[in-house]
Amino acid sequence: MAIALRQAKIMQELTKLPGWVFRRNALAKEFKFGSFREALSFMVRVGFEAEAMNHHPEWTNVYNRVAVRLNTHDGGGKVTAKDVALAGKIQAISWVG
């Protein structure tokens, strides 16, 4: 079972994740791309990273926007180190901020 991070630790980690916020027990960010094709290619690339980590985001896509929400089910629906790690990978993949 994953261990939930304390809010102080989450806030510390957010300083390394531009644009990410802690909201409703999750790390969240919305990405805006130039087109649907760009948004979809981002999602595919993130999907490979998420699958490799066996940690999958909750996300939505509408045209050129992708909203990502991360928390850990076996961590009680709270933010864990797995979420921070995946957010870092997602941030590194994104070319829009």
Confidence of residue 2 (pLDDT cuts 50, 70, 90): confident
pLDDT for the residue numbered 35: 98
Confidence of residue 76 (pLDDT cuts 50, 70, 90): confident
CATH superfamily entry for domain 7-93: Transcriptional coactivator/pterin dehydratase (3.30.1360.20)
Q: For the segment 10-44, what is each residue's pLDDT rounded down to a tens digit? A: 999 999 999 999 999 999 999 999 999 999 999 99
- Tell which wins on pLDDT, 97 or 73: 73
pLDDT above 80 for 1: no
Q: How far apart are CA 29 and CA 17, in angstroms?
A: 10
List the structure tokens of 75.
């961590």
